[in-house]
Amino acid sequence: MSFFSAQAPYVNPPIPFSGIIQGGLQEGLQITIQGTIHAFANRIAVNFQTGFSGNDIAFHFNPRFEDGGYVVCNTKQKGHWGPEERKMQMPFQKGMPFELCFLVQRSDFKVMVNKNFFTQYMHRVPYHLVDTIAVSGSLDLSFITFQNSAAPVQSVFSTVQFSHPGQFPQNPRGRKPKPVPFFTSIPSGFYPSKTILITGTVLPNAKRFHINLRSGMDIAFHLNPRLNENVVVRNTQINSSWGPEERNLSGKMPFHRGQSFSVWILCEGHCFRVAVDGQHLCEYLHRLKHLPAINGLEVAGDVQLTHVQT
């Protein structure tokens, strides 16, 4: 589904995977892939392609673990491969989690692996022809996320916060939970198109938990599922004083005791939009207007966290 100006993430997709890129590739689109390489991996591949046939691949990113490890980049047009570009370096480790980030620019793709710039690949065909991403090979996938960059390209790739590799799930089914309460800073703060993703499991006897987006000591956005009241409360706290609560929902309570969830928060110019498990939950008009000052995330309560992406 399309989630307003950005696309909802693919969560734990099976391998091999092919999925639509809503609206196709656009300049400034950042696609992040997180997963774990198999212990006895041979090769993996990420393809940005037209349709599902695999006959037209604008960018083929293909790490191979043979011969000491290297990465092949190429383009396929009408079933025919062009000349390979090989980078004789292997940024991935067998049996280890990774984060792979592609940034679409006017002239090329920029690629980062685990926070470090790895390579760039000049466009051989118009990138706007790409409408599908395909991932295959010896790996487990945790997430594929999409973010439209609002900041200049240079600062997006220098300030975007990656999870620490050691905190990534070892596999998509057996994640190591993060301790609660959980705190992390967001150094660049918020801006329109900024997203965060939080996944976890509601405890079997849960009463409530909360997700706070903080601006110093204030809470710009308080998202508070209350299982004992069957409601999701939203609010803002300024100078230790709470404002009026918002409780109305257009649909049913999306959180359930003992069940996993994914919460996706998208910042827009006038509001936060929230989706749970890929479905729209609510929008919350900004009460604290200075978005860059919203620089902290807190999660606490009757919940077990498995992943946080800021």
Q: Which domains does the chain have, with CATH numbers?
A: 2-160 (2.60.120.200), 182-309 (2.60.120.200)
Phi, psi (rounded to 5 degrees) for 252: -80, 165
pLDDT at 277 over 70: yes
Q: Are 201 and 259 in contact (CB under 8 A)?
A: yes
CA–CA gap between residue 36 and residue 95 (Å, rounded): 7
Question: CA of 174: how far to CAs of 12, 33, 141, 153, 208, in Å?
Answer: 11, 18, 12, 35, 24
Which pLDDT value is given to residue 261?
87
Q: Exposure of 190 by Cβ count < 10 A (0-12 exposed, 13-18 middle, 19+ buried)?
A: buried
Share of the chain above pLDDT 70, in %: 89
Beta bridge partners of 120: 110
pLDDT digits (tens, 9 = 90+) for 133-191: 999 999 999 889 888 764 333 333 433 333 333 233 333 334 456 788 999 999 889 99
Cβ-Cβ contacts under 8 Å for 67 (sequence gap 6 or more): none
Q: Tell me the residue ranges of DSSP E strands in 116-230.
A: 116-122, 132-137, 139-148, 182-185, 195-202, 209-215, 218-226
Nearest-angstrom CA–CA distance, 120 and 105: 10
pTM: 0.60
pLDDT of residue 194: 86
CA distance 191 to 189: 7
The residue whose two tokens read 């609660």 is 180
Neighbours of 199 (CB within 10 A): 22
Per-residue pLDDT tens for 86-102?
999 999 999 999 999 99
Cα angle value 58/63/65 (rounded, 5°): 155
Write the CB contacts of 53 (distance below 8 Å, at least 6 apart in sequence): none
3-state secondary structure 74-139: EEEECCEECCCEEECCCCCCCCCEEEEEEEECCCEEEEEECCEEEEEEECCCCHHHCCEEEEEECE
**207-223 per-position pLDDT tens digit:** 999 999 999 999 999 99
Region 6-11: mean pLDDT is 80
| pLDDT of 251 over the 60 cut | yes
